[in-house]
Amino acid sequence: MAASASTHAQLIQASWARCREHGLAPHGAPDFDCLPPAQLSALLERQQALLRVTRDEVMPQYSHLLGNSSYLVMLADAAGCLLQTWGTQRFVEPRQQHGFCPGACWREQGVGTNALGTALICGEAIHVSQDEHFLRQNRYMASAAAPLFDAERGLIGVLDVASDGYLPAAQTLGLVRMMSQSLENRLILARHADQLHQLLFNSGPDNLDSSWAGLLLFDEHGRILAANHRADSLLGRVPLQHNLEQLFQIPLHQILAQAEGQPFALQATGRNRLHCQWHAPRKPRTRQRSGHCDPRVDKALAQAGLLLEKDIPVLVQGETGVGKEVFVQALHRASSRAQQPLVAVNCAAIPAELVESELFGYDKGAFTGAHHKGNPGLIRKAHLGILFLDEIGDMPLATQARLLRVLQSRSIQPLGSAEPVAVDIRVVSASNRDLAAQVRDGSFRQDLYYRIAGLSLTLPALRERSDRRQLIEQLHARYCEAGQPQQLTAPVLEVLLNHPWPGNLRQLSSVLQVALALAGTAAISIEHLPQGFAEPQPGISEPCALPGSAPATGSLVELLRSANGNLSSLARSLGISRTTLYKRLREQGVEPAHSSLVRHR
């Protein structure tokens, strides 16, 4: 759907001209040419997939917007026949009520210029204000509509948002564009995501979960079999039947080597750098084990997944930076709620005076300064999905009491509202504090602790993980840009493996990004690591030995051999003192003073 060069006025003028050609007169009445019951029943049966995705997946995402305004959402097929409506019909003229029932046809031939019928003809989103309707009897409303296309660019329907005309045109047009893009994406995923890989990409790393992200679905050979329209705009071409390697000038295996679901950068041919993430096919739903994950993390993910499906809350604990949020994201992707929202709430980042309104929401006019449309709140946004309460140990005691009531009743009462709202959520909490100790000192409610800690698990620190090498290599590959060496050198890898990582994965990410930036197109060397990085960390234990520690010993001996036995040179390259190097060699059964490999400077 290429953007039309026509101005809005030209589109309306062309529609009025077509109306005259059809023999319509401005004073005439609209003819909705409603389908007879048998034909309507057959039509609804054929359009079950479109109806289901719209009703169950798209409309719930926009209920907070639609519920506070006089909107009426209409879904029609590619012929302009109405399939279903949602919202208010209070503004509809009584004599036209039948035109807003399933089976009514909104083609220009019978109804004149209208957003739904005109969008089908011009092939792009359009807003039709009250006075732009050709038929005067339709001038009590304004509406915006966007055509819907499948992955092969075939027209499959149209989505329309109508109102009484008092809402801004830009707002209504923006809403219908956003909803139609979300619907197109979900239809593509419903058809292809079980069997094909997904690549999401956008101009920034923070909007990869937006409806406006580009979406490609490709097979095991990298051939693109489905794509949304946003992908056309970002890539400057229609990508169907192209290969990923053609579009991004990078081998497929390097793309799939990135951590699934985590952002990384790609350079599109002839375009700017794009931020991307990929997802494996959804079937089978069981989590694929790489064989390289730390067994404790693997076990924790499996246990948490089982309990989450049984609606038993999970508490994830561990040092700061160990990857609690990444763990919860993986838990969400592997769950039956993978296609529903994961709403993350950083309880430590929300000011104490705003935490209740942000979590529980508020009605319009609930307090001075409240948004005039109200706010559904983060808990309600997680409806049908997963609510992730990060740093829950920092939640104020008063808010803890309200949260406890929500978890017990599975309903929330927004500020300023007298009516509770039911919510269907799964709850995962996380903290780097000792919550049990907080319970003992009275800073955390005991009843809430037992409510959120159905299963309490602790993620190991990076220095304790057996998959450190794989994590280091994965993060290096993620942040590596085109033209930079794809492999770490042995001396640098040795230093990274033996660092105690007090900041865990967060620190590792920061160190690699800084080192890559300083190294430019050269390989990372010790001098590119932060100053004092290789110095001993007081109070922090040494990293645990990796599985099969013999290869580590062999690698240190091999490094010594590569340095022609020069201990001083090897110590400098590793960023450690000669005394530390002597100590490590002795720990690994090599006596430097007697080794034939050693050559002093």
Structure confidence by residue, pLDDT tens digits, 424-437: 899 999 998 899 99
Kindly report which listed range (269-273, 299-303, 352-356) carries the lowest average pLDDT score: 352-356
Q: How far apart are CA 313 and CA 455, in angstroms?
A: 7
Residues forming beta bridges with residue 126, ordered by sequence position: 145
Token output for 588: 């690994």
Does pLDDT of 314 surpass 90? Answer: yes
User: Exposed, middle or buried, 242 (CB in 10 Å: 0-12/13-18/19+)?
Assistant: middle
8-191 belongs to CATH 3.30.450.40: yes
Domains 193-279 and 295-458 agree in fold = no
Residue 230 main-chain phi, psi, to 5 deg: -60, -35
Most confident region among 15-19, 60-64, 421-425 by mean pLDDT: 15-19
pLDDT tens by residue, 259-281: 888 899 998 887 778 999 999 99
CATH (one of 1.10.10, 3.40.50, 3.30.450, 3.30.390) for 193-279: 3.30.450
Please state the rounded mean pLDDT for residues 246-250: 87
What's the confidence (pLDDT) of residue 574?
62
Does pLDDT of 133 surpass 90? Answer: yes
More confident of the two residues 593 and 123: 123
What's the confidence (pLDDT) of residue 286?
41
Residue 580 main-chain phi, psi, to 5 deg: -65, -40
Does pLDDT of 372 surpass 60? Answer: no
What's the confidence (pLDDT) of residue 185?
92
**Distance spanning both ends of the chain, measured CA to CA:** 70
Q: What is the number of alpha carbons within 13 Å of residue 64 lying toward its C-beta?
A: 20
In the three-class reduction of DSSP (H, G, I as helix; E, B as strand; rest coil), residue 289 is classed as: coil
Helix axes 567-574, 578-587, angle to 10 degrees: 100
In 453-568, DSSP assigns E strands to 455-458
How far is the CA of 430 from the CAs of 190, 395, 400, in angstroms? 32, 12, 14
Pairing outcome for strands 197-202 and 273-279: antiparallel
Q: How far apart are CA 228 and CA 258, in angstroms?
A: 23
Chain CA centroid to CA 207, Å: 7
What's the confidence (pLDDT) of residue 216?
94
How far is the CA of 161 from the CAs of 69, 410, 485, in angstroms? 11, 32, 51
Give residues with Cβ within 8 angstroms of 288, minimum separation 6. Answer: 280
CATH (one of 1.10.287, 1.20.272, 1.10.8, 3.30.70) for 463-528: 1.10.8
CATH class assigned to 295-458 = alpha beta
More confident of the two residues 589 and 547: 589
Q: What is the number of alpha carbons within 13 Å of residue 581 lying toward its C-beta?
A: 25
Residue 155 sits at the vertex; the CA angle it makes with 105 and 182, to the nearest 5 degrees, is 100
Helical ranges in 55-149 per DSSP H: 63-66, 108-111, 115-122
Chain CA centroid to CA 163, Å: 31
Q: How far apart are CA 506 and CA 509, in angstroms?
A: 5
Closest of 544, 551, 484, 541 to residue 512, by C-alpha:
484
How far is the CA of 484 from the CAs of 160, 277, 342, 490, in angstroms? 48, 20, 34, 16
Give the 3-state secondary structure percentages of the chain, helix then strand then coil, rounded to 5.
40, 15, 40
What's the confidence (pLDDT) of residue 348?
75
- By the 8 A CB rule, do 113 and 133 touch? yes
Band of pLDDT at residue 304, cut at 50, 70 and 90: very high
Give residues with Cβ within 8 angstroms of 70, minimum separation 6. Answer: 88, 90, 91, 163, 164, 166, 167
More confident of the two residues 52 and 375: 52
Mean pLDDT over each residue of the chain, to the nearest integer: 83
What's the confidence (pLDDT) of residue 536?
57
- By the 8 A CB rule, do 410 and 424 touch? yes
Exposure pattern of 476-493 as b/e (b: 16+ CB <10 Å)?
Answer: bbbbbeeeeeeebeebbb
Domain residue spans in the chain? 8-191, 193-279, 295-458, 463-528, 549-587
Q: What is the number of alpha carbons within 13 Å of residue 199 lying toward its C-beta?
A: 32
Please state the rounded mean pLDDT for residues 133-137: 94
Please state the rounded mean pLDDT for residues 490-504: 88
In 222-311, DSSP assigns E strands to 224-227, 264-267, 273-279
Task: Determine the topology of domain 549-587 in CATH.
Answer: Arc Repressor Mutant, subunit A (1.10.10)
Give residues with Cβ within 8 angstroms of 202, minimum separation 6. Answer: 208, 210, 212, 213, 214, 234, 274, 275
pLDDT tens by residue, 164-207: 877 788 888 988 999 999 999 999 998 888 889 999 999 888 78
* Dihedral of alpha carbons 168, 174, 177, 178, sign: negative
Please state the rounded mean pLDDT for residues 463-468: 89
Tokens 């903290």 appear where?
431
Please state the rounded mean pLDDT for residues 103-125: 94
Which pTM was predicted?
0.48
Q: What is the number of alpha carbons within 13 Å of residue 390 lying toward its C-beta?
A: 20
Q: How far apart are CA 43 and CA 48, in angstroms?
A: 9
Does pLDDT of 321 surpass 80? Answer: yes
What's the confidence (pLDDT) of residue 2?
38
Band of pLDDT at residue 14, cut at 50, 70 and 90: very high
Band of pLDDT at residue 593, cut at 50, 70 and 90: low
Q: Is the peptide bond before 284 cis (omega within 30 degrees of 0)?
A: yes
Closest of 66, 303, 316, 331 to residue 179, by C-alpha:
66
- By the 8 A CB rule, do 556 and 494 touch? yes
In the three-class reduction of DSSP (H, G, I as helix; E, B as strand; rest coil), residue 493 is classed as: helix
